[in-house]
Each structure stands twice: as structure tokens, then as C-alpha cells.
Chain A
Amino acid sequence: MNEKNIIELKNITVRFDGETILDNLNLSIRDGEFVTLLGSSGCGKTTTLRIIAGFLEPDEGEVFFGDKNMNGVPAHKREVNTIFQRYALFPHYNVFDNVAYGLKVRHLPKAEIEERVRDMLRLVNLEGFAKRPVSKLSGGQQQRVAIARALVLKPKVLLLDEPLSALDAKLRKDMQVELRNIQQATGITFVFVTHDQEEALSMSDTVVVMNEGRVQQIGSPVDIYNEPENAFVADFIGESNILDGVMKADYKASFSGKTFQCVDSGFAPGEAVDIVVRPEDVDIVKPEDGMLRGIVTSVTFLGVHYEIIVDIGGFKWMIQTTDYAAVGDTVGLSIDPDAIHVMKKSKYSGLYGDYSTFSDEMEEMNQMSEELAEELSEELSDSGDKEE
């Protein structure tokens, strides 16, 4: 990896049907890097990839490959190749002809095509499949054909659009390792799109967290996990307890009615902040030894650890621990200073609640059923009035 930017997106905006898909996006990708664009569906990650590939022209902004402005250059003239979500193999060709496609388009000598395709099929473990029609291949094999078809052209950059999402969990893990190995062996820059945070953390040099057409955070997997920039990133990557807090002074954060020692500084005294504490960083101790005290409301055994929900002043904390506690127990919580991460307030502050529910969907459903219950009771009392 070197410091040269191989791809640069500057102030990219894309609108579709009056909706802003990408909102003033800036992104630099260094040569030889494994970059992952991470976000949930509709965050703009695939759109970003399509802009690099040349399938889509941005409404505003510039695309650079090195120093060259690529705006208006069609996909077939760009030195990047794409692995599509559902592979997009040519159904009328066999494995060999699929892989050879780009070489044939470039009118290379037949002998060279033969050799490069054979080598590539060996690399992806598909020797002996050359004459097989692609419809007769398993998902994993089709995936390898797609990889071979792109890599045989020795692109400078490989774009991967959720390439593993159609594979089952175990094969997926294997392919993750394999893709990472291929990337390191070839030194090709990978731009990888996924909604799977674990995949993003385990494979990438750099993770770009996206939401609502904007970059939320760019950083190494460790940074993204340990130093999330705002409540969205903290909630999206891993599990987090996100609390309202106030910075009393440097290294002093106050939340849940107590002031804690922490390692963050640089905030204005008395500044309102968001506090993140990862569930695995909380220890359960005796009530009298804890910094905070609460009641266990739920315990789930997950094999490696217990997932324990503790109610502290109405806020439900999630704690992952190997120590058992029973529902109804009063427990103490102990948090190390470096486990407390302080973030500036953002538009996402307050959007992510506690662990009363795990998913937004369940929360909405609960809200709806509450509203429904209210309406029902109103209706009942209404009809009661009429009877009078």
C-alpha cells in the first residue's frame, strides 16, 4: 500500500426522482488498499460503486482515477472491473468463455488467452471446469468464475458489490479469507460493498461507514469500532449502550447520575455529549463495589457469554459477560476509564435508545401497538359515552 490516491471522488451528489442518493460525498482510495463501503440498504454504497465503475454519472462532483478526470468516460473504457451481486455471468457461455470474455474483447492472441484463463481458473480452484456451462455450477463456483473473469484482466481496481451475500454462512467465511488472500497476493485495490459489519471489520484495511448518502466515518476497523464518531456509527457497528452525558471537564464524563473517569478530552466544560460503552467492556460486580447499580431484567445464554440486560434508572444496559446473574438480582456495574467513549452530539443523538428492544422494527411495532391500544381504549370510552 502506498500513499498515492488511485481513486478520488470529489463532492459527488446523485439525485434520483427528486431524492438525494449521494449527498456531497468525498472519498479517497489509496493504491493497494482494501476499502469497504459499509451501510444498510439505501445508504448509497452501491451507487458510489456504480459511479466508480462508470455505470452512473453523478449529477454533481468529479471522479478522478489518479490525476485523470473520469467524468463522462464510459464503463468499458475504465480500468476497473466489477464483481456483481448476483455474479451476472454470461448464461450462453461456458466457464472458459466467461473468463476469456474481456481478453477476447481486447483481441489478444488465442494462445495468450488460453494461458491466462487457465492460470486464472487455477487461482480460483476451478481447474477442470473450463467446459462446464455456468448454469451447472453451484453458487460458490459461479462466484469464483465472476472473480476470475474480472481478475484475468489485471485491473488496477476491483469493485465488489456485495459479492458474498448469496452464499451460505460457512462458504461465506471461506470466501472472505480467499478474497483477502487474493487481494494481498495481487496487490489490486479492492473496493468492497457490504451491509455486513462483521465482514467489513474482518476483511478491510479501511472501512467507510455510510448512511443517508453521506460518509459517517472513515477509518481502520479498529478505529471504527473503538472510536465511533457519532451515535449512528456506534449503533451500526457492534452492540453499544449509548447514553446522554455531559463532559464536566477533560477526562471527566458524567452520565447515569454519576461522574466517571475517562480518557477523552478536548470538549468544552459542560458540553452535552453522547457516551458509548460496549457491552463486553462492562463487568458485573457486587452491588456495593459497582459504580452503577441496577436490576437484571433478562438473561440470555449465547454460548460464549451471557447477554444480560440491566435496568439502571429506567435505561436498559446490555452487558456481555461470562459471569452469571439471575433475573431480579441487584448487581453492580464496573466500567474502566478506557471503555468509556465520548462522542460529539450529532443529528443521530437520541435516535438510538436502550436495549428495551433490539431492533428498530420491534420498537416501531411496540409503539404502534401502544398507539393502537390507546385508540381502542378511546373508542371504547367514546362508545360508552354514547350509550349514556
Chain B
Amino acid sequence: MKQRSLLQRIIGAPYVLWAAIFIVVPLFIVAYYSFTDPNGAPTLANIKNLGEYGPIFRDSILYSLAATVISLVLAYPFAYVMSRKREKTQQIMMVLVMLPMWMSLLILTYSWMNILERNGIINTLLSKIGAGPLTLIGTPGAVIFGMVYNYIPYMILPIYSVMAKIEPSVLEAAEDLGSGGLSKLYRVILPLSMPGVVSGITMVFVPSVSTFYISQKLGDGKILLVGDIIERQIQAQNNYNMGAALSLVLMVIIVLSMALMKLFAGDTDENLYV
């Protein structure tokens, strides 16, 4: 570690202060609430009660994993194609990817609700051709779709940015030495883009596993995820302690899965976004 000068310390101070007040202190507050009852007396009851939410945790993780895998499968080839296009085309594609991010997630999700509803656009069209209304909203598929739709840009961007750095001549060298498409993919493109994949997975999995809005609206109240029950504990039942305990566990799950990812990806130095 380099010795930092006084100037660097002074410039850095506001950020340290910011991080302390808005990140470190709240974390301690969450931990404090988790291990106390509403009167402030220490207790392990919240943690013990977590057991009943096991299936919800399981569902949250499964849904988020599904959303992450689907995002990866869709985003990876897209990012590759994008990175090999001409500069101008790349910029246009980038804007198209970012465009939905300029609108609020709430509005986007609400719109999808309208589209997928029993009397929504899709079902209206389907009944016109006599294909009957389909149950789209309130299914796991709708929730996973919502996650993929909202978070796929966070998969595309980090993968694209590492892919854009792969020299065209390196790919040509792979071909030159005898690699066909598949061999080129797993010997060169995949390993070189791994840091972006790791970032993308983290950036899609983390918001997916903690979402409550998407599951609420597109799950039509039938699908509960961890985010929903945390919200319910805090908003409806005013039970900050249980909410905090749930949040704490969720955080531990996220940190563990990130650690697992890094372990899986090997060299963490190159993970630019994590």
C-alpha cells in the first residue's frame, strides 16, 4: 500500500465520512435491530423465527438464479456481437441498451403489468384471434421476466466492456492457429471475458434477489420473495426487528454468493466492477 499524502487524505475525508454515516453505521443498526426485540432488549427470537421463511428464501434465490442465467445467456452473445461492430453501430446499440435504464423501474414494471394482465394488451390481441386469455401475470415466469427485463443491461454492459477490449487480432490469431468458432469461444473469448461475466452475474443477481416491487406487481400478490416480506414486516407490521433480521440474512447470502463467484472466477484482480 502506498503512503498517502496529507492532500490525498483531505480530499478523501468526505468520502470516508459519507461511507461511515450512510453505509457502516446503518449496517450496525441493522445488526442491532436483528438481535433485539421491539423494546430494545437483546433476543435471538428474530433469528430463530427465520426458519419459517425458509421456502421464501429458497424461492427468491431460485427466481434470481433463473433470471441471472437467462440474462447471461441472452446478454453474452449480444455483447459479443456488439463489441465486434463498427464504432458507430456500437454506440447506437449501447444507447438502445441504456434507454430503458433512463426510465424508472417502477414505471417500466407497471407498464409490463398492463401488458401482461388478464385484460392487458397481449390477452386482448390473443382473444381477437380466438386464442383465449392466458394467465401471464402472477406466474413465476412473469416475475423472472420482469427481473430479466429490468436488469439485463447490467449484464450486457460489463460483459461488453471487457469484450470491447479484446483485440480483433487476438481472435484472428486463434483462428490462424486452428480454432474454429467453438474452440475460439472457450479457449479465448470466454476466459478473456470472465471478469465481465462475474460482474454481470453479481449485478443482476443482487438486485433480483432483493427486489420486492417486481414480484409484487408482476407476481400479482401471489408470489412472495424476501424483499416482499421484509417490506411487509417493516411497512405493514411495523416489526423493524424481524425486517432487520431478514435483511441481515439476505446480506449474508449475497456476500457469500459474491465470494463464491470470485472463487469460481479465480483471479479477482481483473474484476473491474465488483
Q: Report whether B169 and A101 are in contact in the complex, using a CB–CB cutoff of 8 Å.
A: no
> Is A90 an interface residue when CB atoms closer than 8 A count as contact?
yes
Measured between alpha carbons, how far is A81 from B187 in the docked complex, in Å?
18
Contacts of B188 in A (CB 8 A): 90, 92
> Is B87 an interface residue when CB atoms closer than 8 A count as contact?
no
Please give the distance in Å from A78's CB to the nearest CB on chain B: 8
Contact of A84 among B169, B183, B187, B192 (CB under 8 A): B169
> Is B269 an interface residue when CB atoms closer than 8 A count as contact?
no
> Is A85 an interface residue when CB atoms closer than 8 A count as contact?
yes
> Is A118 an interface residue when CB atoms closer than 8 A count as contact?
no
Q: Report whether B170 and A88 are in contact in the complex, using a CB–CB cutoff of 8 Å.
A: yes
Contacts of B180 in A (CB 8 A): 74, 76
Given A86-B169, A105-B183, are A92 and B191 also a contact pair (CB < 8 Å)?
yes
Q: Report whether B175 and A85 are in contact in the complex, using a CB–CB cutoff of 8 Å.
A: no
Q: Report whether B178 and A105 are in contact in the complex, using a CB–CB cutoff of 8 Å.
A: yes
Contacts of A293 in B (CB 8 A): none
Q: Report whether B175 and A55 are in contact in the complex, using a CB–CB cutoff of 8 Å.
A: yes
Residues of A in contact (CB 8 Å), total: 25
Q: Report whether B177 and A153 are in contact in the complex, using a CB–CB cutoff of 8 Å.
A: yes
Measured between alpha carbons, how far is A86 from B167 in the docked complex, in Å?
10
Q: Report whether A101 and B170 are in contact in the complex, using a CB–CB cutoff of 8 Å.
A: no
> Is B179 an interface residue when CB atoms closer than 8 A count as contact?
yes
Contacts of A91 in B (CB 8 A): 170, 192
Q: Report whether A88 and B177 are in contact in the complex, using a CB–CB cutoff of 8 Å.
A: no
> Is B176 an interface residue when CB atoms closer than 8 A count as contact?
yes
Contacts of A75 in B (CB 8 A): 172, 175-176
Q: Report whether B173 and A106 are in contact in the complex, using a CB–CB cutoff of 8 Å.
A: no
Please give the distance in Å from A340's CB to the nearest CB on chain B: 46
Measured between alpha carbons, how far is A53 from B175 in the docked complex, in Å?
10
Please give the distance in Å from B90's CB to the nearest CB on chain A: 18
Q: Report whether B176 and A53 are in contact in the complex, using a CB–CB cutoff of 8 Å.
A: yes
Q: Which of A81, A101, A106 has the most CB of B within 10 A?
A: A101
Q: Report whether B187 and A82 are in contact in the complex, using a CB–CB cutoff of 8 Å.
A: no
> Is A149 an interface residue when CB atoms closer than 8 A count as contact?
yes
Contact of B178 among A55, A88, A90, A102 (CB under 8 A): A102
Q: Report whether A101 and B172 are in contact in the complex, using a CB–CB cutoff of 8 Å.
A: no
Measured between alpha carbons, how far is A166 from B71 in the docked complex, in Å?
41
| Nearest CB in chain A to that of B194: its residue | A92
Q: Report whether B176 and A92 are in contact in the complex, using a CB–CB cutoff of 8 Å.
A: no
A residues 39-65 in Cβ contact with B at 8 Å: 53-55
Q: Report whether A88 and B183 are in contact in the complex, using a CB–CB cutoff of 8 Å.
A: no
Q: Which of B169, B174, B177, B180 has the most CB of A within 10 A?
A: B177
Q: Report whether B167 and A88 are in contact in the complex, using a CB–CB cutoff of 8 Å.
A: yes
Contacts of B177 in A (CB 8 A): 76, 81, 101-102, 105, 149-150, 153
Measured between alpha carbons, how far is A194 from B178 in the docked complex, in Å?
25
B residues 151-204 in Cβ contact with A at 8 Å: 167, 169-170, 172-180, 183-184, 187-188, 191-192
Please give the distance in Å from A137's CB to the nearest CB on chain B: 16
Contact of B192 among A80, A92, A104 (CB under 8 A): A92
Measured between alpha carbons, how far is A54 from B178 in the docked complex, in Å?
12
Measured between alpha carbons, how far is A222 from B175 in the docked complex, in Å?
37
Please give the distance in Å from B221's CB to the nearest CB on chain A: 48
Q: Which residues of B contact A (CB under 8 A)?
A: 167, 169-170, 172-180, 183-184, 187-188, 191-192
Q: Which residues of A contact B (CB under 8 A)?
A: 53-55, 74-76, 80-82, 84-86, 88-92, 101-102, 104-106, 149-150, 153
**New contact pairs (13) apart from A55-B175, A75-B175, CB-CB < 8 Å:** A76-B178, A76-B180, A84-B172, A88-B170, A88-B173, A90-B170, A91-B170, A101-B187, A104-B187, A105-B183, A106-B178, A149-B173, A149-B177
